[in-house]
Structure 1
Amino acid sequence: MNNNEIYDVIGIGLGPFNLGLAALLDEVPDMKALFLEKKSEFNWHKGMLIDGTTLQVPFFADLVSMADVRSKYSFLNYLQAHNRLYHFYFLEKFHIPRKEYNHYCRWVSEQLPQCKYGMEAERVVPVKLEGGGNGYEVSVWNDGTHTEERFVTRHLVMGIGSVSSVPEHFKEHLGSSVFHSSEYLEKKEICKEARSVTVIGSGQSAAEVFLDVAKEQEESGFTLNWFTRSKGFFPMEYSKLGLEYFSPDYTDFFYSLPQEKKDALLKNQDLLYKGISADTSAEIYDYLYERSIGSDYPPISLQAMTEITGLESTGSGFSLSGYHQVKEEGFTQDTDVVIFGTGYKSAIPSFLSAMKDDLAYDQAGRFKITKDYRLETYLGDAGSIFIQNGEMHTHGVGAPDLGLGAHRNAVIINQLAGREVYPVQTKNVFQTFGVENRGAASVPSM
């Protein structure tokens, strides 16, 4: 099926960022948009919707509020629509349950007919537009009708997000008993039947999985090990001045730096986005303390400074090879289940393969990206290709942060519309990241 309509913008992928873009564009009547998602429905990290887990950002980091608090798609309006305003008022918490955030996003997506699910983008190519100008043709597999459809657009926005990251030499073992934390709830039952379970990683996801598995261990009795090559199970930086790094001001500062300085900075900012929340860390400690009353220590081990270097199948389970980086000693550990809480990484989508030579890359093979989130291309006057959550190397640690999603969408929408649809605020923080021109210091007279 070929669609003759020309859209102003097509979004590929419907995670929170492109869903927020769809919601904000829904209130811009002169912009015709379409959003495509290969999954059958919206679900945000479905495998990690563990009971008791919360967002790591305040509820203001919903899909729209940081760009337009008056939007009907705000989290507060969602609460009102579900008769939960007083419940939330009495809750007195900024960090909402992850399950509720997912339900809120689903509520928004159900109100946006321009969001199409079961539609997998397979190929994007530049085309001449009827009436003049250049745009893109998007070939899509419709999973519902089992047919290919084609759509034409002036501009694209990629919101495909990141993919789970597992060290390359472990990938051959991935399956029902060796898996990434993103699949945890789908495969949780296997842990209950195991003799030994191992969690690898030290970020928030690894911590949440470890705590949930530990609670299962209390009933099932298996051995539980938690390894990380990090120097410790450290908390994520969450001081108020530290949070200012997740601001448009810091993004502007970071973007202005040479790429080598950006890469060096990112290497030293892990705890801004990779550590464990203080609440989760405290909950783990409190749980282990209670389990150890009367010196009745459970078969649970936490070991930092340790890299898991190998994984072999033994027929009845797996044998892990580990190396303690400080002691410089190796060891082996038998286990039945391995859960990798090893984070996520950006990936170049396959639907751009036909255009790979039209796109600009840096020396590390990453997209070159303009300050206003467009891919640099060699396509001349072709329409823009914007990117969501694929620009950490150019824009800094705030790229995957939900709190900056609405701001980035405001920037993108203003570019698409050619006018200021949503105001973009400046001077959002108290500190200065660069050097301000303060003028010459006056010398007191004698």
Structure 2
Amino acid sequence: MSHVHDLVGVGIGPFNLSLAALAEPVDDLSVAFLESKPEFSWHHGLLIEGTTLQVPFLADLVTLIDPTSRWSFLSYLAAQERLFPFYFAENFHISRREYDHYCRWVADSLPSCRFGRRVTAVRWDAGDELFHVESEDVRTAERETLIARNVVLGVGTEPTVPEPMRGLLGEDVFHASEYLDRQESLRGAEDVTVIGSGQSGAEVALDLMRAQESAGWRVRWLTRSQAFAPMEYSKLGLEHFTPDYTRYFRSLPQETRDRVVPAQWQLYKASSAATLAAIHEVLYERSVGQQEVAVDLMPNVAVTGAQRAGDGVELACRHTEQERDFTVRTDRVVLATGYSANQPPCLEPLSDVVDWDARGRYQVGDDYGVALDPSVTGGLYVQNAEMHSHGVGAPDLGLGAHRAAVIVNAVSGRDQYSLPKRSAFTTFGVA
């Protein structure tokens, strides 16, 4: 039999990269991570100049679990000979571009990370009681199968495209995740509409506003939300992104969890106060001398339909509070409509052994293991596909290292990493 890995990871985003970094010093743990992209890339289309992470640099791949790790952000700065410049910069929130470069540095240094390999199928072999992870080289189509006791899915989330827009995707209608890659298609536009008021929507809208004087376009920003509201960023509010809150959320009935998460939208779906302030600053400066500000900001607007109209797009809209319908004619549409976790096609062979919940979702345990048929003795783990079971911290970078450490401990069968017993001042529930 081929070499048996203790763990094989599907996908290499920040969360599986964190797991790879924390697994690396564990001598008796054999791991491999596969990614179809030719190299590490994190939200490439949104690395807009001046944008920063919404979490402090301490929320890197390892520090909140192992601050002595050679893969910390400070170790990266030392390797790049940038510790003194960072010290003088006094930036608690680093740029997205620098975070992406830091992750590339880690990924390029870890032999367990293999790029350019697309996982085509994950199967459970009842005979040898092991997972078979089949993959192919994206350039040569060369096939390979890795054998593993455990598998972890770190495929990330996919851009969400509203139903009215799905048939219009192309040069003039595209998701915000492609924003920088679509700069050429924006040339010549006289009217650009951004839909969605999350952080990426705010960043795209701000970038378009800053380019108005040279580009000459009108900018429109639409959202279904009641306001262009800031992200909840109070210190006690941030305690929702702690292991303590995750444990409390896990104790709730699933029906309650499903009701709670949508009500917490300002914890994870709104815009940063700093970005909103920058937008207001641009608009205020443009209005000097009573000049016309060629920007429309409209909350409470749902886009109910869309169609081609000449060289542009016609949007059917409805003001949800006034209950009035109206039409918007625009040249380009940027969909800042978020992301969602979807089951990857490679998992199809395991569909019959996954114990899905009533809504067709993974049932995820405390250790991030997916409930499987009792006949399956191996472990299937997920990263950032468990908001319904673990709460709003699932996609947050600040909890990435903690989740990875939980998985390392589960796979190794021991407490390889010490986990904090108390991480918040807030008492979230009654004992």
- After TM superposition, the score normalised by the length of structure 2 is 0.98
1:213 aligns with 2:208: yes
Aligned-residue offset at 1:128? 4.8
In structure 2, the residue matched to 1:406 is: 401
Residue type matched to 1:121 in 2?
V
Residue type matched to 2:153 in 1?
M
Q: What 5-or-longer segments of structure 1 have no aligned partner? A: 437-446
Aligned-residue offset at 1:380? 2.2
Counterpart pick for 1:227 among 213, 222, 234: 222
Cα separation, 2, equivalents of 1:128 and 1:355:
12
Of 216-225 and 426-435, more deviation after overlay is shown by 216-225
In structure 2, the residue matched to 1:157 is: 152
For 1:20-419, what aligned pairs fall within 5 Å after superposition?
Answer: 20-128=18-126, 134-419=129-414
Secondary structure of 2:210's aligned partner: helix
Secondary structure of 2:329's aligned partner: strand
Q: Is the 8 A contact 1:373 1:387 kept in 2?
A: yes
Q: What 5-or-longer segments of structure 2 have no aligned partner? A: none
Residue type matched to 2:256 in 1?
K
Cα separation, 1, equivalents of 2:218 and 2:167:
24
Secondary structure of 1:373's aligned partner: coil
Secondary structure of 2:110's aligned partner: coil
Aligned-residue offset at 1:113? 1.4
Runs of 4+ with >3 A deviation: none
Cα separation, 1, equivalents of 2:347 and 2:377:
15
Q: Deviations over 1:154-182 (max 9, x none)?
A: 10010011110111231111111101100
Q: Is the 8 A contact 1:235 1:271 kept in 2?
A: yes
Percent identity over the alignment is: 47
Aligned-residue offset at 1:393? 0.1
Residue type matched to 2:117 in 1?
M
Secondary structure of 1:244's aligned partner: helix
Residue type matched to 1:77 in 2?
S
Cα separation, 1, equivalents of 2:429 and 2:209:
45
1:9 aligns with 2:7: yes
Aligned-residue offset at 1:311? 0.8
Secondary structure of 1:264's aligned partner: helix
- After TM superposition, the score normalised by the length of structure 1 is 0.95
Residue type matched to 2:391 in 1?
G
Secondary structure of 1:347's aligned partner: coil
Q: Is the 8 A contact 2:222 2:299 kept in 1?
A: yes
Aligned-residue offset at 1:34? 0.5
Q: Is the 8 A contact 2:199 2:271 kept in 1?
A: yes
Secondary structure of 2:347's aligned partner: helix
Aligned-residue offset at 1:298? 2.7
Question: How many residues are paired up?
Answer: 431
Residue type matched to 2:85 in 1?
H
Cα separation, 1, equivalents of 2:219 and 2:376:
57
Cα separation, 2, equivalents of 1:364 and 1:123:
24
Cα separation, 1, equivalents of 2:357 and 2:5:
30
Residue type matched to 1:51 in 2?
E
Cα separation, 1, equivalents of 2:217 and 2:327:
18
Aligned-residue offset at 1:379? 4.5
Q: Is the 8 A contact 1:126 1:382 kept in 2?
A: no
Residue type matched to 1:87 in 2?
P
Q: Is the 8 A contact 2:353 2:376 kept in 1?
A: no
Secondary structure of 1:173's aligned partner: coil
Q: Is the 8 A contact 1:389 1:400 kept in 2?
A: yes
Q: Is the 8 A contact 1:191 1:213 kept in 2?
A: no
Q: Deviations over 1:29-79 (max 9, x none)?
A: 111110000111101000000000000000000000111000000000111
Aligned-residue offset at 1:354? 1.3
Cα separation, 1, equivalents of 2:296 and 2:416:
54
Cα separation, 1, equivalents of 2:314 and 2:40:
37
Cα separation, 1, equivalents of 2:279 and 2:266:
19
The higher radius of gyration belongs to 1
TM-align CA RMSD: 1.1
Residue type matched to 2:108 in 1?
E
Secondary structure of 2:305's aligned partner: strand
Secondary structure of 1:257's aligned partner: coil
Residue type matched to 1:90 in 2?
F
Q: Is the 8 A contact 1:192 1:217 kept in 2?
A: no
Q: Deviations over 1:332-356 (max 9, x none)?
A: 1111110010110110111111111
Aligned-residue offset at 1:214? 1.2
